[in-house]
Chain A
Amino acid sequence: MKISRRTLVQGAAASVFAPALVRSAAAADPIIIASMYDLSGGLEAAGKPMYDVLSFAVEEMNAAGGLLGRPVKVVSFDTQTNMQLYAQYAQEAALKHKVAVVHGGITSASREVIRPVLDKYRTLYFYDMPYEGGVCDRNIFIDGVTPAHDTEVLVKHAMKNWGKTVYTLAADYNYGQITSDWVKKFVQDGGGQVLGTEFFPLDATNFGSTISKIQAAKPDFILTILVGGGPISFYRQFAAAGLAGKIPIASTTFAGSNEQLVLTAEESNGILLCKNYLEAIDTPVNKDFLKRFRARYGADYQPISDLTMASYQGMLLWAAGVKKAGTLDRMKVIEALESGITLDLPSGAMTIDPTTHHCILDVHLAVMKDKNLVPIETFAQRKPLDTAAVCDLNKSPNDTKQYIIKVK
């Protein structure tokens, strides 16, 4: 790879002449990274804040002297919720701009479009999103939660407090399908029963018949794995039917795109959540982050969701890898990231697991109250056991597949 030799020499020179270069960081050759999020189209509610925190992380990095003494520059692509553009922009980032890393992709569909392109053209990829688990690829690092992190905690707590029968509503793509399988497993392990599972496309707005069926089935609680702009209507129609508060709801995805801002307090009160990040986490690291971020983007910036934070944390993890490697060379950065990096981040401590390239992280149970996510309990350092069951990059480092985890 042409750029690797050049940047290796520059990196070496930088580490020798570091003090001098820190002062003149602005004048040095910038490190180019790509951000690839949907800033328009149906998923911009998730994409825009993720881009904002990424730029914020880069700004702070540059203010502190840059990375390896060089300023970091972000090339941003608005993929407009369009798969074809994801493919084209991935090619552009890898071949034209020859970026050091791509942070991007929101849905699993977009990730699976970008991943083979970046594999082929040997560009490092960070996927900073919760998803269904199973990706086994040495070129990618994923700092989002998978069902092994959060779903088990959520289901156990819901069953303990509310009862043993569940009705599941899920988004109709692999994330919803696989997560609903996990829900079934955890429910059955706890001696319960899933009374019904329904799948909805991302632009579904009509939940009338579903609400009638739920009433007929009489579950102890509802579990939603709904994604997209349309499913907000479910919570609204549910409340309109007078059922809010009568049948409790747990959700793996609610509040990821700040749905609670759109609904009224009554429509969302009581919803049980399990997230890697909550704004209400009471640690100095988190409080300091929020203070700095709000100083930069304004005190009325919408709440930082777990999706948004994943983008920030992914950026910092990558930077830590680069610093440890001392170079931008892709394989050296990968090896540095695999060597066991732990960072103290706003969501808690986070470690990259070298076997799976996923993360060991904290999850926090929370409940919705007056549009805020109020923490109940923290489960520390949960491992990505679902991906670990199918993926071992130590044994097969050339693996580049997403395994569909068969949930037994």
Chain B
Amino acid sequence: MEYAIVVGVEFVYAIATLALISLGLAIVFGMMRIINLAHGEFMVMGSYAATVAVHHGVNVWISILIVPPIVVGLIGMVVERLLVRHLYGRMVETMLATWGLSLFVVGLLTTVFGDTTEGVPTPLRGIAVGAYQVSGYSLFVIGLTVVTMLGMYALLRSTRFGLLARGTMQNADMAAALGTDTSKVYAVTFTLGAALAGFAGGVLAPVSGVFPSIGGSYIGRAFITVIGGGAAPLFGTASASTLFGIINQIATFASNPVYGEVALLLAAIVLIRAMPQGITGRFFRGRL
């Protein structure tokens, strides 16, 4: 029974991490129809921001939760202005340009931080479940993901910015005709996506290693989850990460993490073949 709880927590944790790393990318894709392939590197920069902050004595919770989104959000703002703005609507060019950006950032991080960096220690202890141990931090991440998704939902539903963003997402020309400054909406959206990526990187810094090339392992899964989820940023991410997360974990427990990854990839191919517009192209249409 207790082992089932431990395994259950693992399953939910896998779904939560997938959702967390994909959320920023999904918002940018859903709103602006572009894919930012430097998303993984935004996450790594968030992890490094958290690490540097902890090193300089900032409280560990502030370093993980507050510093990364601010730092990476600012970087995202700069990237949007210098790079993405010139490539609006051109999905392939944006993918290629952001791919180049990701290589550049990896090289830059390697030059600045070098080989090994002191990581961030896990701020929460393990919790005993019968004879087993569950990572307290895993439960924290699960909770945080739920809160973040609900927060995004509230933001897009109840605030003025959310209204303008949804309007621009549904029909950009009409929104512009009605007086919305669409380029400002896009700028804020991209910054938000980058901040979410940084947030995910900061939150995951205590559990994964922080080194420059770890972005590559994030972007593959995030990319597939976003495309599989479809145009709706929140429902798409939630549904795709649940589906892929479950498949991934079943395969992992049945064999090993590598085949778990392969199972996720195969599931993605089948899904895109069956539903090329993603899950929310067929179900949950019109939702956020």
Interface residues of A (CB under 8 A from B): 40-42, 44-45, 48, 172, 198-201, 203-210, 212-213, 215-216, 229-233, 236-237, 239-243, 246, 257-259, 261-264, 266-267, 302
Contact = CB atoms under 8 A, between A and B. Distances in A.
Contacts of A243: 126, 133
Interface string B238-279: 000000000001001100111010000000000000000000
B223 interface: no
B29 interface: no
A262 B213 contact: no
Interface string B183-215: 000000000000000000000001111110110
Given A215-B133, A237-B207, A262-B117, A210 B257 contact: yes
Contact of A205 (B107, B217, B253): B217
B13 A242 contact: no
Given A44-B110, A241-B133, A232 B125 contact: no
A231 B217 CA distance: 13
Contact of A236 (B10, B122, B125, B252): B122
A240 B206 contact: yes
Given A205-B214, A209-B249, A236 B257 contact: no
A199 B13 CA distance: 22
A369 B14 CA distance: 33
Interface stretch (B71-79, B134-142, B225-233): B134-142
A229 B209 contact: yes
A204 B137 CA distance: 20
A160 B109 CA distance: 45
Contact of A199 (B114, B138, B216, B256): B256
A205 B118 contact: no
B134 A241 contact: yes
A240 B256 contact: no
15 contacts: A42-B211, A45-B115, A45-B116, A203-B214, A205-B209, A210-B257, A212-B253, A236-B119, A236-B208, A240-B126, A242-B127, A242-B128, A242-B135, A242-B136, A266-B121
A262 B209 contact: yes
Given A41-B213, A209-B10, A258 B206 contact: no
A311 to B, nearest CB: 15
Contacts of B124: 240
Contact of A208 (B14, B119, B206): B14
A212 B213 contact: no
Contacts of B10: 208-209, 212
A246 to B, nearest CB: 8
A203 B217 contact: yes
Contact of A229 (B3, B207, B213, B260): B213
A108 B137 CA distance: 37
A208 B138 contact: yes
A121 to B, nearest CB: 31
B161 to A, nearest CB: 35
B154 interface: no
Of A198, A240, A242, most B-chain CB atoms within 10 Å? A240
Which of A200, A230, A241, A264: most chain B Cβ within 10 A?
A241
Contacts of A232: 119, 209
A48 B128 CA distance: 42
Contacts of A209: 10, 249, 252-253, 257, 260
A172 B257 CA distance: 12
Given A236-B119, A257-B116, A212 B126 contact: no
Given A48-B115, A212-B7, A205 B208 contact: yes
B6, B14, B115 pick with most chain A CB within 10 angstroms: B115
B126 A230 contact: no
A172 B134 CA distance: 27
Given A242-B127, A242-B128, A215 B6 contact: yes
B209 A240 contact: no
B13 A208 contact: yes
B104 interface: no
Contacts of A257: 115-116
Contacts of B283: none
B132 interface: yes
B258 A216 contact: no
Nearest to A259: B116
A212 B115 CA distance: 30
B213 A263 contact: no
A93 to B, nearest CB: 24
Contacts of B14: 208
Nearest to B218: A205
Contacts of A45: 115-116
B238 to A, nearest CB: 20
Contact of A262 (B118, B122, B138): B118
Given A199-B256, A203-B217, A264 B121 contact: yes
A198 B256 contact: yes
A297 to B, nearest CB: 14
A209 B6 CA distance: 9
Given A208-B13, A215-B6, A230 B257 contact: no
Nearest to B121: A264
- Complex A-B, nearest 6 residue pairs according to Cβ-Cβ distance, in ascending order: A242-B126, A45-B115, A240-B122, A232-B209, A241-B135, A242-B133
A90 B107 CA distance: 24
Nearest to A201: B258
Interface string B98-123: 00000000010010001111110110
A262 B208 CA distance: 11
Contacts of B253: 209, 212-213
A302 B209 CA distance: 18
Contact of B116 (A40, A212, A231, A261): A261
A146 B249 CA distance: 36
Contacts of A44: 110, 114-115
Given A243-B126, A262-B118, A263-B119, A215 B132 contact: yes
A266 B131 CA distance: 22
A203 B249 CA distance: 18
Nearest to B111: A40
Contacts of A267: 121
Contacts of A239: 122
Given A40-B110, A209-B252, A229-B213, 15 more contacts: A42-B211, A199-B256, A203-B216, A204-B258, A205-B208, A205-B217, A208-B138, A209-B10, A212-B132, A229-B214, A233-B207, A237-B207, A242-B127, A242-B136, A262-B119
